[in-house]
Amino acid sequence: MKNESPETPEDCYLTPVWTRLGKKEKVRVGKSRTAITALVSVLGLGFVLAHPFVPQKEIVWSAEEKPLHDQIHGLRDLPDDVRARTTTDLALKIRPLPATENKLRLAVALASLSTEGDFGHDTLQEVATTLAQTLKERPLPWPEQRKEQSSNSKSTSAGEGARATQAEPAGPYVELASLVRYEHVEASLDDKQYRVAMARLEADDRKREDVEFSLKDLAGKSWTFSELRGKVVLVNFWATWCPPCRKEMPDLQALHEKFAAQGLVILGISDEKAEKVEPFIRERKVTFPVLLDPKRKVNEMFVVEGIPKTFIYDREGKLVAQSIDMRTGKQFLEMLAKAGIQ
């Protein structure tokens, strides 16, 4: 796993949350490591169902598909209220398309972008319904297991090794399962890959319920999770190159300023190098602790395979809320209320 933003098309496949548009822009495409072997590109890199470095043929969009593709491309440029309406409209327009690979590309692309903020439960339900219907119409084969998983499993714990050697469901099934489990929408899909994806998410959550780690911040101070018992702890995984992470950073800073006196501790965790993180933090006047995880040990402990992700623990150390994507200030407040911060 790369610790910095991808700079080549090959590197993009090693960072499962992002892929490349042209030469400069990065586009979020998934939240799971399964996206490496079943990567769905928002803007035309297509499915990677075998080796991730195999050149992919150019995608040709039909006259019906191209306008939808272009609208998805532009979603991040829209005000949030317009983006919510546009996302709903796109979900409804994708649904009647012929059951082609392009339809699935559009459905997954839309789903992947639909959780970047607060666009409403009804919007997310339409997105999930469209993705479930598309997967029902055009099921995906199980991705080929990566060879390096077998060798790597020897150095993991028994539980992690078992997961590494089992077949991973294709990325679109994980995307749908994430919507259902974490955004509380409904989906009707009788498919083994979907069931396995749901089970994997449940197992990941169990790991996050009992964590312990120590990391140093930019000033060299060590922070140990268990020593924060009695505080409400918000753990946020992010990176400087991640647009949704950058967008939610001011809200996190505002929460720090407002609730630190009530016992809220915000820990921002990045797997980047200090020389990359420090100027970014200084420029944005971020004052909550930013911890460095260059070897990704804590990322792996939390099963973080896509960013941003946030986990909130109450004063007894119980995991009470989490998010799979960017949250707004209002959404953060709703999450913190579950830990008694209001």
The confidence band for 146, taking pLDDT boundaries of 50, 70 and 90, is low
| Type of residue found at 167 | A
Residue 153 has pLDDT above 70, yes or no: no
Q: For 252-275, what is each residue's pLDDT tens digit?
A: 999 999 999 999 999 999 999 999
Distances from the Cα of 290 to the Cαs of 259, 295, 337, in angstroms? 17, 15, 23
| Type of residue found at 284 | R
pLDDT at residue number 56: 62
What number of other Cβ atoms are within 10 A of residue 282's Cβ?
A: 10
pLDDT at residue number 57: 75
Q: What is the mean pLDDT of residues 121-126?
A: 98
Secondary structure element (H or E) that encloses residue 265, with its range: strand 264-270
Chain centre to alpha carbon of residue 92:
24
Find out whether 49 and 143 touch, Cβ atoms under 8 Å.
Answer: yes
Find out whether 80 and 117 touch, Cβ atoms under 8 Å.
Answer: yes
Find out whether 307 and 1 touch, Cβ atoms under 8 Å.
Answer: no
Q: In what order do the strands lie in the sheet with 319-323?
A: 290-292, 264-270, 232-237, 309-313, 319-323
List the domains of the chain with CATH numbers: 9-141+171-203 (no CATH), 214-337 (3.40.30.10)
Q: Which residues contact 98 (CB under 8 A, 6 or more apart)?
A: none
Could you tell me the two tokens for 299? 């990322």
Could you tell me the two tokens for 126? 């339409």
Q: For 290-328, what is each residue's pLDDT tens digit?
A: 999 999 999 999 999 899 999 999 999 999 999 999 999
Find out whether 213 and 298 touch, Cβ atoms under 8 Å.
Answer: yes
Q: Of 237, 210, 224, 221, give the one whose Cα is nearest residue 317.
A: 210
d(CA 43, CA 22): 10
The confidence band for 35, taking pLDDT boundaries of 50, 70 and 90, is very low
**String of DSSP letters for 166-211:** SPPPPHHHHHHHHHHHHH--------HHHHHHHHHHHHHHHHHTS-
pLDDT at residue number 161: 46
pLDDT at residue number 236: 98
Residue 96 main-chain phi, psi, to 5 deg:
-85, 0
Residue 14 has pLDDT above 70, yes or no: no
Q: For 93-104, what is each residue's pLDDT tens digit?
A: 999 999 999 999
d(CA 184, CA 269): 26
